[in-house]
A and B are shown apart, each in its own frame.
Chain A
Amino acid sequence: MKWCVIKIFQRLFAITAVIGIVAVGMCPATTEASQRLASIAGIGDVMASQSVSESVRILEVGDQKEYTRIADALSAASDGDTIRIHTGTYREHGLTVDRRVAIFGVGRPVIDVEEKGEGIRITAGNVHIEGLEIRNVPTSHSRDLAAIRFERVSGGKVIGNILDNTFFGIYLARSHDMEIRDNELRAYQTRESVSANGIHLWNSDRAVIKGNVVIGHRDGIYLEYVQESSIHNNHVEKNIRYGLHFMFSDDCIYHDNRFENNGAGVAVMYSRRVIMKHNEFVNNWGAASYGLLLKEITDSEIFENEFSGNTIGIRSEGSDRVKKYRNRFHRNGWAIRIMASSMDNLITENNFIDNAFDVSTNSRQQSRNRFEANYWDKYSGYDLKGDGFGDVPYRPVRLFSLIVERNPMALMLLRSMFVQILDLTERVMPTITPETLVDEKPLMREVRL
Chain B
Amino acid sequence: MIGKILKYQLRDVIRSRWVIAYVLFFLVLTDILFRFGGDGLRVASSMMNIVLIVIPLASIVLGAFYLYNAREYIELLLCHPVKRHQLFWGMFLGLALPLVAAFSGGVLLPYLYNAASAEAWRAALMLVFTGSMLTVIFVAIAYYIALRFDDRIKGLGLALIICLFFTIIYDGIILFVIYIFSSYPLEKPVLVLSLLNPIDLGRILLLLQFDISALMGLTGAVFREFFGTALGMAISLASLLLWLAVPVIAGFRRFLVKDF
Contacts and interface: CB of A to CB of B under 8 A. Distances in A.
Interface string A410-424: 111111111111000
B239 interface: no
A287 B221 contact: yes
Interface stretch (B11-19, B26-34, B165-173): B165-173
Contacts of A418: 167-172, 175
B73 interface: no
Contact of A417 (B171, B186, B220, B223): B171
A288 interface: yes
B216 A356 contact: yes
Given A409-B178, A412-B204, A288 B216 contact: no
A166 interface: no
Interface stretch (A45-53, A150-158, A400-408): A400-408
A309 interface: yes
A179 interface: no
Nearest to B186: A409
A132 to B, nearest CB: 39
A412 B190 contact: yes
Contact of A416 (B42, B171, B186, B218): B171
A329 to B, nearest CB: 12
A421 B186 CA distance: 24
A287 B167 CA distance: 28
A417 B167 contact: yes
Interface stretch (B48-56, B86-94, B141-149): B48-56
A419 to B, nearest CB: 7
A311 B174 CA distance: 24
Contacts of B186: 409
Nearest to B221: A287
Nearest to A331: B215
B203 interface: yes
Nearest to B169: A418
A415 B174 contact: no
Contacts of A197: none
A333 B217 contact: yes
Given A415-B48, A415-B207, A416-B203, A287 B218 contact: yes
Given A333-B212, A417-B168, A286 B175 contact: no
Interface in B25-81: 42, 48-49, 52-53
Contact of B217 (A288, A413, A417, A421): A288
B229 interface: no
The contact size tier of chain A is 20 to 34
A317 interface: no
Interface string A274-289: 0000000000011111
A354 interface: yes
B171 A311 contact: no
A249 interface: no
Given A287-B218, A356-B216, A415-B49, A410 B175 contact: yes
Contacts of B204: 412
Nearest to A418: B171
Given A356-B212, A417-B52, A417-B53, A411 B171 contact: no
Contacts of A420: 49
Given A333-B220, A403-B175, A417-B168, A285 B215 contact: yes
Interface in B179-223: 179, 182, 186-187, 190, 194, 200, 203-204, 207, 212, 214-221, 223
A367 interface: no
Interface residues of B, number: 34
Contacts of B175: 403, 410, 413, 418
A434 to B, nearest CB: 20
Interface in B208-257: 212, 214-221, 223
B216 A311 contact: yes
Interface string A325-341: 00000011100000000
Given A407-B179, A421-B168, A413 B174 contact: yes
A310 interface: yes
B216 A419 contact: no
A414 B172 contact: no
A242 B223 CA distance: 25
Interface-centre pick from B167, B215, B220 (highest chain A CB count, 10 A): B215
A417 B168 CA distance: 6
B219 A411 contact: yes
B221 to A, nearest CB: 5
Contacts of B179: 407
A408 B218 contact: yes
A414 B215 contact: no
A291 to B, nearest CB: 11
A414 B218 contact: no
Contact of B216 (A407, A414, A421): A414
A400 to B, nearest CB: 10
Contact of A409 (B169, B170, B187, B215): B187
Output the residue of A310, A311, A415 with the most chain B CB within 10 A: A415
Nearest to B172: A418
Nearest to B182: A407
A311 B223 contact: no
A333 B216 contact: yes
Contact of A287 (B52, B187, B217): B217
12 contacts: A311-B214, A311-B215, A311-B216, A312-B217, A409-B186, A409-B190, A410-B175, A411-B220, A412-B194, A415-B49, A415-B203, A416-B171
Given A356-B215, A418-B168, 11 more contacts: A287-B218, A287-B221, A356-B216, A406-B182, A407-B179, A409-B187, A410-B178, A411-B216, A414-B216, A415-B207, A416-B171
